[in-house]
Structure formats: structure tokens, C-alpha cells
A = this chain, B = another copy of it.
Amino acid sequence: MTLFEKSEYLVRLERTKDRMEKAGLEVLIVTDPANMNYLTGYDAHTYYVEQAVIVALDADEPLWISRKMDVACARFTTWLSPENLLGWPEELVQSRLKHPMQFLTAAMQARGWGRKTIGIEMDAPHFTPRSYEVIKSGLPDAKFEDARLLVSWVRCLKSPAEIALMKKAGVIMEKVMQAAIDGINVGVRECDVVADVLHAQASGTDEYDGDYASFPPLICAGEKASAPHLTWTSDRFKNELSINLELAAAVKRYHCPLSRTIYLGKNPSKQLTDTAKWTVDGLNAELAAIKPGVTCEEVDQAFRKSIAHTGITKESRSGYSMGLGYPPDWGEHTCCMRPGDRTIIQPNMTFHIITGIWMDTWGFEISESLVVTETGCETLTHYPRQLIIKG
């Protein structure tokens, strides 16, 4: 039973084929697990082995190829007919002699795709240079083009069913953030707060389950708040300390990330409270700027203008498109809120706006996940948008 109606997958496939035609592609080898899921429903932890979904203009259904053992996972999760689920033999797993992509190219030859113009996702997570070379040598008469992000761009515009899942993730996200805030106290170990966060992520609500997030919970305390992507330790939280939380919730691989900074103690520095106020003002200005018709860089400018008078600076982007994802990322790698990105914002796009400020020895982080509406945007969570002080 697939997550979405078959008709929804057919629309996604049609949009993908439209883009393929415009790009002059006859066949597309999809290796990003998020894109594979998007087109077929396939959802299993198998992206540590070679796998792909192949879309061809001359085929009604995509062709799914992975390890033989995992054909059963495809039967449970995809809308594809049994003849379009091909499993390569177990002996190919991490073999020193043969490569699973040889099986893939043989299957493509058998379907008459050996002389086609073929799109390849050159920057897909989990797709390696060796896989690419094996594909090229197995299809010597094909013409290859870089089709990276072709499907990811289709994913930018969410359907009502996708948005409904992301709103569910938003509901879980509020519980996840509250679990972190409740758990952080002087003397408590980082790992014990993370345990509560992970518990809240999976248990979800009484009505639906939560999924694992593509990032592990990032809880960076004190000096480590200057290092945005460290994971946890058994260090204990100390008094008069700020802690950055970059967390997420997910439902059926659809994410809602959320960041906050919590200060444990009664005496946050003026530097921190000023930075918090300015950054929240900047985030509010950025959110207010989001509406159909404006560009991503204009939205980013709203944040930068708002903080220009404060002396704080931010080199990194202030937001990015996100949604369906597998480790290591929930970002879609398409549009970003930053100078030069002139993507025009449309209704039903979904973004993570993240206005983190990382200094040499400290940091302040705040973010919102949102969906673009006809007139502006709607955040997926309603958690207090401020420096959280727990004294």
C-alpha cells in the first residue's frame, strides 16, 4: 500500500518526464533515495547498496533496481508492477570482482535503452564515482548528461497531501522541542536530553507515528555552540550557559526542522540577548517578506537589511527548500535564501528559514519551517520565537 494515491505518483512522473523532454533526455537514472521515494513510494533503509529508479519516456512505469533481498521492501512500498522490480544477486553486495551497476546496465540494454540520451544525477547522495564509471562502461553507446536536481526541482512544489504530512511533522516538532527544553537542566547529561528528543521524534502523537530525522539531534552547549554540527556527549549542562538546539521531526520521511537557543541561568550576557533580539527581528522580517512572486534573494535581503544596523553578520544562507529526505540531509539542494538565487517563490513551496549566528566562541540560532501560501507563508510550528531563558 503506497503512502500517496497512485494518481499522485503519476503526476510526479509526468512532471519529471516534462522536464526530461525539455532537457533532451530520453532516460533518467534516479539514484537520490529521496527522488526514488518521490517517484515510486520506495522507502527502506537500503541506500548503502547500489540502487536506482529508471524513468524512460518510452515506459509507462519506472523501473526499480536494488538488491534482491530488498525487492520485498519495494513490494510493500511502491506502486510499481512486479515486472518493474528487479533485484540484483546477493553475491554482488560489496563484491571485489563484480558491481551491481553491471546488472543495471544489462537490464537497461535489455529494454532498448543502450543508445539513448541518459540523464544522471551527478551530485546525488549515495551515488559514487565508481557506480557512474560502471554505468558508462556498460552503456558505451549511450550519451550521458548531468541531470542533477531534475527531480529535486519537481519536489519543490508540494501537493496538499505532502503539506498535510509536513504539518503533522510540525505537530510532532513542538513536542520534540518541548522535550528538549524540559529536559535541559543544570547537571543533566546531553545524552539524556537527546534520548528524550529521539523518543518524542519516533512516538509521534496518538494519531500517527514519527519518523527518524535525516540529521541526528544537534545540541551544542557553551563553547560548542560555536560549532554548528557537533553531536552530543555525556557532558552535563552547567549554569549560566547557552545551548543551541537544531532539531527536527519527520513523518513518513517529510521533515519539519526547528532551531532554538536556550540559556540556562539568570544572567545572559547583553551580547547574547541583543543578538537574540536582532536575530528574531531579522527572522520576522524574512518571514514577512515571503510571498508568491518574490525571489529567494529578496527574502534573504529582508533579513540582512534588518540586521544591518546591529553589527552582527552572517555569511551563510538564511534558508533553503526542504521536505522529503534521507540521511544525511533534509534539504533539497535546490533554492536557497542567499544573494544570487533568483528562484521565484510559489505557493506550496516549503522552506527552512534558519538565521543562526555562529561566532568564534558562542552562537545563537533560531529557525522556522514553513509552507508558502497564496498571500504569504504559514509556519509549520508555533513555538515561542525567542531566546528561551530557563533560570
Contacts and interface: CB of A to CB of B under 8 A. Distances in A.
Given A232-B209, A234-B208, A194 B189 contact: no
Interface in A171-230: 189-192, 194-196, 198-204, 208-212, 215-216, 218, 224, 226-230
A202 B198 contact: yes
Contact count band on A: 35 or more
A97 B339 CA distance: 13
Copy number in the complex reads 2
Contact of A94 (B97, B127, B191, B333): B333
Nearest to A76: B227
B130 A338 contact: no
B133 A128 contact: no
A159 interface: no
A82 interface: no
A137 interface: no
B73 A227 contact: yes
Interface in A107-131: 120, 122-131
Contacts of A340: 97
A267 interface: no
Interface of A: 43-48, 68-70, 72-73, 75-77, 89-91, 93-94, 97, 120, 122-133, 146, 148, 189-192, 194-196, 198-204, 208-212, 215-216, 218, 224, 226-234, 315-317, 320, 326-329, 331, 333, 336, 338-340, 358, 360
